[in-house]
Structure 1
Amino acid sequence: MTTAKQLKARVRARMARTGERYAVARAHVVGGALDTGPVVDAGWTLRGGTDPDTAALANVLAHRGVTGPDGPLTEPLLFLVGGGLGAGYILWEFAHDDGRVVTLGFTHSWQYFDRRLATTVDRLGLDVAWSRTGGAAAAAQALTATLAADDPAIIWPDRYHLGYWNLPPFLDGMGGGPVVAYAAAGGRVHVDDRNLAPLTVPAPDLDRARARVGSYRNTMLVVRTADAAVPADRLRAAVRAGLEADVDHLGGTSTSFALPAWRKWSRLLVDPRAAKGWPRVFADRRGLLRALASVWEGVEPAGMDGGHVRGLFADGLEQAAVVLDEPGLAAEAPRWREIADRWHALAETALPDDVPAIARLRTLTATVTGAVAEGDAGAAERAAAAEELWRLRAEHADAPPLDEGRLAAVLAGMSGHLAAIHDAEAEAVARLGAALGR
């Protein structure tokens, strides 16, 4: 008989191999045989999710009894309402510590922490309350009062200070996506970070995490609407507005925040002359493994942020086709799933698992993410995995475990994948615009 420990190991191994999120990998491993339904903790149902922003809002609306005219407001549909997909690439260089950091954006307005959620609730006509309390004590009191009133709150804590991601000190203050705080007891706050079992944080740690990042210090979003259905005409307008904004956004000319970002990145991966070309920036190979790992973690859902979300967008298109009575939208969904496969191929190329050290890095990353999904019960396992993970990454900080020939092949392969992704997404966006009559 398969033990719980063996099952977890198999799920995490699949996550490392396929890049899937915990819930998806688990469903494949168990085939639904052990599916007993979602866990309910302190009256809150842990439904999981993919994208931090829309999963948080979808789970809050489900808890508050807010639906569409014909059923739940699902994460894929809300993802479209908020503007859907994005495209972003930036390579930061920091002189103070010789840091080279790759930043990827896969969602609309990814560079603004609150814009997608603000847009989504506005388009749906929801009654919400935003709070941006400056002082930590006042912010803690506001959250305590909110939870005491049985109202869940969407908050933006720094991941390092949350603790359960077990990040190293040099990531202190790097921020993170939103989570839902839904209950407090015994000096700990229960949070929903797309986990499937209860996950709690000491209240003082959560207070520090909320106050750490200046640009969104102590921000809190509370949905006041309850037990209501968004009218059909408003939902249709919201979905169409989100799709039209996505087409306009992706079709822009920015080489950092629209589809041209992929074409630029493709060229920079192999250009030794450009100031931001990878052969030049990483000529000494220092920090290159971190950059490659950032690509894998950013693209694959097995990372902290939900991945490229092209599959989520495809699901949203199928649901939008029903809401808008536009079958042509559903016909575009397979195209975006093919693009999702292209992104997976890029991630596989960036971090090839036939190299033992890299395979171990992927396994440890998936173990941490999977143990977060398992809630407090996974604390010891994720702490041990994170300790080994960051030790391994430090061991190869000066050079990835790839010889010169293999490294050149990795960068060339990534470049080729990105060029093809750019062309495929440009065509898909044009077709989507045509389906919307734009």
Structure 2
Amino acid sequence: MARTGESYTTARRHVAGAAPVPLSAAGYRLSGGREPVSAALAHVLAHHGVRCAGDEVSEELIFGVAGGPGAGYILWEFAHDDSRPVVLAFSADWQYADRATLAALDRLGVAASVHRTGGAVGAARALAAAVDAGRPALVWPDRRRAGYRHLPDALDGMGGHVVVAYGRSGDGYLVDDRSLAPLTVPAPVLDAARARVGSYRNLLVDPQPTGDLAPEALRSALVAGLSHGAAQLGGTSASFALPAWRKWARLVTEGKAAKGWPRVFADGRGLAGALASVWEGVSPAGTTGGHLRDLTADCLDAAGPLLGVPTAAAADAWRAAGAGWTAVGDAALPADVPGFGRLRELTATVEQSVLGDGDAGRDAAVVAAAGLWELRARLDAEPPLTPADRDALFAGLGSRLHAVHAAEQVAVRELAAVLERAG
């Protein structure tokens, strides 16, 4: 996964071969996944038996229905732990916790109950009612509070992505975070994690589909979702559209700007963590699926027959953009710099333990996470790069960012052409 840039599920298949996916004790199928929103929705719809022309609706198509690819770049500077992490986003509407999820359900015509409450008792009751009735529920726990990635205290309240609570195990909930094995979170822990982030405190979405999808309904939902995402990407925002990549490419070498990397990282402190967060954001070894350009391409491949128009050129353009993002990740965290290769390995090990092994991987995840965050702190305090090394790294990173921005402009144009032909 860390080496090839593939999702964990795909990389694992190369080693272990394809295997049938068994039902969990709760009757819910754990089948991995690539991106949180699309995987969660695909799995919940499959659990409810929703089909289109006899087939389950794939994660690839759901990704398009939810808006498809997006863009986002933010460099944070935190005083509480002297860190400077980079937040990257690659899916539509990423800046809103539930917007892509609710939009996808609406486009598909799937009814859902949405619960928002500040009260802990009401939130716990709503989750228990859905799960005990056999309806997997979509929830948004804070990652550090949820516990299974063993994040440091400094990341408390920094947010999280959607997961599925689909059953019970003792006094805990069974959680699907694109995992292939049971993953249990104690009920009080999950309740506290859901309540941690004020902007979406205790949010719960309880999909309640009533039947199959007609092909025309899925086609309409797919066109609407991809059109929304393409319009968003093609906008002028330097935070939430393609100009975000151009802005980043400029800032990574601009010393005078307040957020210019040569200025922010003039003393080298915090740089290793920032570079690691870039690699994690781009790579499927990270927590949210990486750059997702390969998923976009697969979505277009799957959409071709449904849309009735050629999609190969657009899919190829998005795969080219994905290759560019892999190069960005490699330039940000070169494996031959002392400690950087180990950061990659430990990040992938944590994710492998969560996604592949679930509860059985907890001990391995604890050890790997402890090593990861200790190494990040040490490299942040004692940078392994000389000033000349930093300048060279910034120059290489900027060049690759300019190239990926150009590649994404082509990809968005190709996507727009597909949508125009599809009407």
CA contact (8 A) 1:129 1:222 kept: yes
Q: CA deviation at 1:399?
A: 4.1
CA contact (8 A) 2:320 2:407 kept: no
1:63 and 2:41 correspond: no
Distance 1:210 1:435 in 2: 39
What SS does the corresponding residue of 1:154 show, helix, strand or coil?
strand
Amino acid at match of 2:183: L
RMSD between aligned residues: 1.4
Amino acid at match of 1:29: V
Amino acid at match of 1:408: D
Could you say which structure has the higher strand fraction? 1
1:157 and 2:138 correspond: no
What SS does the corresponding residue of 2:420 show, helix, strand or coil?
coil
**1:123-272, aligned counterparts within 5 Å?**
123-226=107-210, 228-272=211-255
CA contact (8 A) 1:152 1:183 kept: yes
Distance 1:404 1:68 in 2: 57
1:424 and 2:410 correspond: no
1:379 and 2:368 correspond: no
Amino acid at match of 2:61: L
1:16 and 2:2 correspond: yes
After superposition, give the CA deviation of every residue in 1:191-211 in whole Å (9 maximum; x if it has no partner). 000010111011111111111
**1:64-103, aligned counterparts within 5 Å?**
64-95=48-79, 97-103=81-87
| Alignment correspondent of 2:292 | 309
Question: What TM-score results when the alignment is normalised by the length of structure 2?
Answer: 0.96
Q: CA deviation at 1:104?
A: 1.1
Distance 2:59 2:19 in 1: 21
| Alignment correspondent of 1:341 | 323
Q: CA deviation at 1:94?
A: 3.6
CA contact (8 A) 2:321 2:407 kept: yes
CA contact (8 A) 1:39 1:197 kept: no
Q: CA deviation at 1:321?
A: 1.2
Distance 2:383 2:162 in 1: 32
Distance 2:10 2:303 in 1: 23
Question: What TM-score results when the alignment is normalised by the length of structure 1?
Answer: 0.93
| Alignment correspondent of 1:290 | 273
What SS does the corresponding residue of 1:397 show, helix, strand or coil?
helix
Distance 1:337 1:279 in 2: 31
CA contact (8 A) 2:84 2:270 kept: yes
1:351 and 2:333 correspond: yes
1:116 and 2:93 correspond: no
Distance 2:70 2:373 in 1: 30
Amino acid at match of 1:146: A
Q: CA deviation at 1:70?
A: 4.7
Amino acid at match of 1:44: Y
What SS does the corresponding residue of 2:135 show, helix, strand or coil?
coil
Amino acid at match of 2:60: P
Distance 1:159 1:38 in 2: 26
Distance 1:100 1:316 in 2: 34
| Alignment correspondent of 2:372 | 389
Q: CA deviation at 1:323?
A: 0.8
Distance 1:295 1:426 in 2: 21
Q: CA deviation at 1:29?
A: 2.2
Q: CA deviation at 1:339?
A: 1.2
Q: CA deviation at 1:337?
A: 1.0
Residues 1:336 and 1:171: Cα distance change in structure 2 (over 3 Å)? same
1:332 and 2:314 correspond: yes
After superposition, give the CA deviation of every residue in 1:216-252 in whole Å (9 maximum; x if it has no partner). 11111111114x2112222121111112212211111
| Alignment correspondent of 1:433 | 416
What SS does the corresponding residue of 1:191 show, helix, strand or coil?
strand
Amino acid at match of 2:196: R
1:47 and 2:31 correspond: yes
After superposition, give the CA deviation of every residue in 1:172-203 in whole Å (9 maximum; x if it has no partner). 11111010001013101100000101110111
Moved more, 404-413 or 215-224: 404-413
Distance 1:379 1:17 in 2: 23
Q: Percent identity?
A: 54
Q: CA deviation at 1:404?
A: 2.4
Unpaired runs of at least 5, structure 1: 1-14
Structure 1 counterpart of 2:15, from 8, 29, 34: 29
Q: CA deviation at 1:408?
A: 1.7
Q: CA deviation at 1:159?
A: 0.8
CA contact (8 A) 2:317 2:410 kept: no
Q: Number of residue pairs matched?
A: 419
Divergent runs of 4+, >6 A: none
Distance 2:372 2:77 in 1: 23
